[in-house]
Amino acid sequence: MPTKHIAVIAGDGIGPEVISQGVKLLKAVPGLDAQFTEYPWGCEYYLKTGEMMPENGMELLKASDAIFLGAVGAPGVPDHVSLRDLLLKIRRGFDQYINLRPVKLLRGAPCPLKNARREDIDMVFIRENSEGEYAGAGERLYPGTPREVVLQTGVFSRHGTERVIRYAYNTARRMGKTLTSITKSNALNYSMVYWDEIFREVGRDYPDIKTHQYLVDAASMFMVMQPERFGVVVCSNLFGDILTDLGAAISGGMGLAAGANLNPEGVYPSMFEPIHGSAPDIAGRGIANPLATLWSVSQMLDHFGMPDEGAKVLAAMEDVLTEGRTLTPDLGGTASTSEVADAVIARYLSRKAA
Ligand code: NAD
Ligand code: IPM
Ligand code: MN
């Protein structure tokens, strides 16, 4: 295994608390020679310099094999500035057009749905990650006057829509799962009707894949009432954002949910992160759940072509969840962030030896 260069952007709030645990795990992976470069970018950096990352920031990241990101956002810096100038800038600048978010109820993880069986919650969300409602296209006209008009335009290109849908069909085929497309075509008569058209068009190349199409409101209801309906799911940027927080809620909470931002062609580095934010309400107390971050390490190992190691990380997390002795307060425990990560790493290494 050649050396892997990992750019680390710990970011704000609980970001550094959880990312340090992920780095600890990466350093423990046998056969992985990981070199870390840490970038102190985020809201503190912004308050000092007036920018979220330096002008040559993307250039600095470009040479890495992966980017490991904690969380961005702090009171005192408007969220639309901090997020658009760092997290979203990287996703878009590096054409990480696939946001892959597993919604899987791990062994031992708590589930608030009273009738769900563990195997019922086993989905892979593929969220469009480069355009759609997040394109940043819009205008504010006549600001501060009674004529004020605000436009926020969703952007759905053929190129962008086709490639994410094709990726989703391929994933469904590879995993032997159904594919569900989630839209809102009854109200969004241009963008979502177009998405549905492309979904059918690309689907002609995949007659072997069983598909479903739901409206996003009904899909939200089904995720809670009948989660077993879903296998691989594909949707637009905004719907994917919202539905994967719902997905987190039914599979152990925000402390467990991870996501990979992939540039599948490998022209640019991909980025791995917990999907939660900087959680200012618990930052600095050493009680943030590191499991989401450790899951994103598992995704990074898959990406590095080490899927056995990635699977072992998940299995080690399941061991710790099932034992239930070393959990952070969000999961009803009293352990610290580093105690949970240490427990997972110990389990991971003993699985190695076994
Ligand atoms: P959040 O995810 O930070 O927090 C929501 C709730 O979940 C909070 O009660 C928090 O304590 C809890 N939580 C989140 N992660 C946890 C963990 N690992 N362990 C235990 N509890 C955890 O979302 P928010 O409060 O809406 O946003 C806070 C800030 O984060 C905002 O500035 C927002 O813009 C930003 N944000 C950043 C990202 C990112 O960088 N990827 C994602 C979402 C939100
Ligand atoms: C996420 C986050 C981001 C998003 C925000 C912070 C811009 O909520 O990764 O889910 O909406 O993509
Ligand atoms: Mn989100």
Bridge-based pairing state of the strands 270-274 and 66-71: parallel
For 163-193, the pLDDT digits (tens) are 999 999 999 999 999 999 999 999 999 999 9
Helix (H) or strand (E) holding 203: helix 191-203
Q: What would the mean pLDDT of 212-234 be, rounded to a whole number?
A: 98
Q: What are phi and psi of 126, to 5 degrees?
A: -115, 105
Q: Is 126 helix (H, G, I), strand (E, B) or coil?
A: strand
Structure tokens at 319: 């061991």
Pocket test for ligand 1, best of 241, 278, 344 (most atoms within 8 A of CB): 278
Write down the pLDDT at residue 321. Answer: 98
**Res 352 pLDDT > 70:** no
Tell me the residue length of the chain.
354
Is 217 known to be catalytic? yes
Is 312 known to be catalytic? no
Could you write out the DSSP letters of every residue in 69-83?
EEE---TTS-HHHHI
Residue type, position 343, single letter = A
What residue owns the CA closest to ligand 1's atom 16?
Answer: 255
Reported pTM: 0.98
Half-sphere exposure of 121 (CA within 13 A, CB side): 27
Residue type, position 307, single letter = P
Burial string for 74-109 (b: 16+ CB within 10 Å, else e) reads beebeeeebbbbbbbebbbebbbbbbbbbbbbbebb
What residue owns the CA closest to ligand 2's atom 5?
Answer: 83
Contact 135, 155 (CB under 8 A): yes
Contact 138, 246 (CB under 8 A): no
Write down the pLDDT at residue 351. Answer: 85
Write down the pLDDT at residue 345. Answer: 98
Q: Is 232 helix (H, G, I), strand (E, B) or coil?
A: strand
Q: How far is the CA of 287 from the centre of ligand 3 (A)?
A: 21
**Res 311 pLDDT > 60:** yes
Write down the pLDDT at residue 2. Answer: 81
Q: How far is the CA of 353 from the centre of ligand 2 (A)?
A: 38
Contact 128, 97 (CB under 8 A): yes
Q: What would the mean pLDDT of 48-66 be, rounded to a whole number?
A: 98
Domains of the chain: 1-100+257-354 (3.40.718.10), 111-251 (3.40.718.10)
Q: What would the mean pLDDT of 205-226 be, rounded to a whole number?
A: 98
Q: What would the mean pLDDT of 325-349 be, rounded to a whole number?
A: 98
**Res 353 pLDDT > 80:** no
Q: What are phi and psi of 86, to 5 degrees?
A: -130, -75
